[in-house]
Amino acid sequence: MSPTTRVDAPRTQKNEKNGKGVITDLQHLMTESLNEASHGLDTKSALEVARIINHEDMKIANAIKKALPEIATVIDTVARCLRDGGRLLYVGAGSSGRIAALDASECPPTYSTSPQTVQYIMAGGPKALASAAEVNEDSRELGQRDIARRRPTRKDIVIGVSASGRTPYVVAAVEYARRCGAKTAGVTCNYNSELTTVAEVTIVAEVGPEVVSGSTRMKAGTAQKMILNMITTGAMTRLGYVYENLMVNVHMKNSKLVERAIHILMLACNVDRNVAVRTIRVAGKSLPIALVMLKANVDKPEAMRRLAQADGNVRRAIEDTVMEL
C-alpha cells in the first residue's frame, strides 16, 4: 500500500488514568465508523429503513447496562450535591447539548425544583437549541468562559455530555470545573476519549456505528437521553421527591397537573376523591404536604415541619426520620 493510500493508525494521547491511548482523531471513533448493517440505506424501502433503524436501536439498552455502576455513582453524587445546596450543571454542544437542555428544563415541572438547581450550558447559548451553532463547539476558550460564568464550586457537579467525548468546548468546561473543585462526570459513547481524562467519572455507552454514519443524534443521542433520564430521576428519587413510584413533587400549574396530583394522593393514601381534593386545598396545593398530612395523620404545620426537617424527603417526613445519603 502506497503512502497516499494507507490507512493511518488512530492518533492517540496517553490517558493518565489508565495508561491507555486516548483517541483524538474523529474518524477513528466508534461513533464515526461505517455501519455494515445499513449499507445501501438509500436504496431501501421505507419499511426496510425503519426495520434497520429499529434493529440498531435495540442495541442501546444493552450498551447502557454495562455502564450502570458508573451511572449509580453519578446518581448518588448528584443527590448529595443537590441536598447540600449545590447544582447540577450540564455542558454540551449540538445534539448532546440539546438533550442536556431538555433534561434540565423538565426537572422544575416534574419535581418542583428551582430552575437554578439543574442547569444547562450550551455551546452557542440558548439560540443554539433551535438553530445550528456547532462552530462554537470547537472553542476551548468559549467552554471555559461559559462555565466560569456559572462559578462552579465544591458543592456543584458538572456533567459534560458529548457523544464523541472529544468536543473541545465540553472537555475544556469540565476541566475548568474540576480545577474549581466541582465534582465532574462525563457521558459519552466512545471509550478512551478525551473526556475520560478530565472527568472524575465517565459513563460510556458504546452503541456502535450509526445507521447514518456520524449522525450521533440517533443511537448515541438516544443513549444520552436515557442516561440523563436515569441520573435526574435517580437523584430526585434518592432525595425523596418520589414516594413509592409516584411523582409526588409535581407542581400543580394547570388542570392536568391538578388532576394528576389528586389521582396520586388517592392512590398513595387509599382515599376517595373528595378527601384528596379537600386535603390538597388545606395543604395550599402542595402535594407533599397533603401526602404527609394523610399518611402521618398530622395537621398542615406539623407536615411542613417534618418536610423541612427531612429536606423535602417525603418518606422520611412521613416516618419522621433524619435524612441520610
For the domain 255-319, what is the CATH code? 1.10.8.1080
Give the pLDDT of residue 293: 96
SS3 180: coil
Write down the residue that cell numbers 481524562 correspond to.
197
pTM for this predicted structure:
0.86
Mean pLDDT across the chain, nearest whole number? 88
Domain 46-238 falls under CATH 3.40.5.50:
no
216 φ, ψ (degrees, to nearest 5)? -75, 10
Is residue 304 a contact partner of residue 289, using CB atoms and an 8 Å limit? yes
Grid cell digits, residue 188: 459519552
Measured from the Cβ of residue 139, the count of other Cβ atoms closer than 10 Å reads: 17
More confident residue, 278 or 325: 278
More confident residue, 40 or 10: 40
Domain parsing of the chain, residue ranges:
46-238, 255-319
SS3 140: helix
Tens of pLDDT, residues 192-239: 899 999 999 999 999 998 889 888 899 999 999 999 999 999 999 999
Tally of CB atoms within 10 A around 253? 12
pLDDT in tens, 108-132: 989 999 999 999 999 998 888 887 7
- Catalytic positions, please? 106, 137
d(CA 11, CA 30) in angstroms, rounded, equals 14
pLDDT at 17: 45
